[in-house]
Amino acid sequence: MHRELSPEAVKATLARNTPEAFLAVLQITGPGLTPIRAVNNTESITRNGQVFDPGSFDADPPEDSASKDPTVTLVVDAVDPEHTRQLRGYTGVPECEIVWIMASQPDRAVYGPFEFVIRDAKADELVITLELGHEENILNQGFPGQTYSPTNSPNLYV
């Protein structure tokens, strides 16, 4: 799939040395859930009026494949115990958005946004591992959704 980069992002990507930093921005939300916002950086960043706290996490972009449902394994280190309690006590399906940005232009997405639901979560005192994917496995659903036969669609069989 074609992804268009801004001239600044292309320049920073192709430069031998650049002061620019590409950052991953993460937001976990859900009805009744206090939003968890983090940026893979050592200092906070403001994006679209929202403050993202510094965090340490590893997220690779989903595979760009037409035959495979995109999934992401997200590993969050040095977890705030409040976030762990909040996710463990949540009964709904939290949503997760990941966007890659440039530090100099935090309001402009370089890659993404990718919106997923959290399918599975494992946590201990130090690390949360989240399996992200889509709630419905669209690629493995039948199309069309129903079957046409002479009994339920007699006008098609004349």
For 37-86, the pLDDT digits (tens) are 888 888 899 999 999 988 888 876 666 666 666 777 888 886 677 877 87
CATH topology (fold) of 7-136 = Pnp Oxidase; Chain A (2.30.110)
What's the sign of the alpha-carbon dihedral 14, 16, 21, 22?
A: positive
Q: Is the Cβ–Cβ distance between 130 and 60 less than 8 Å?
A: no
Residue 1 has pLDDT above 50, yes or no: no
Model's pTM, two decimal places? 0.71
Residue 135, token pair as written in the block: 């709630």
pLDDT at 137: 58
Domain locations in the chain?
7-136
Q: Which long-range contacts (CB under 8 A, 24 or more apart) does 7-14 make?
A: 8/102, 8/104, 8/105, 9/102, 9/110, 12/102
pLDDT at 8: 79
Distance between terminal CA atoms of the chain?
43
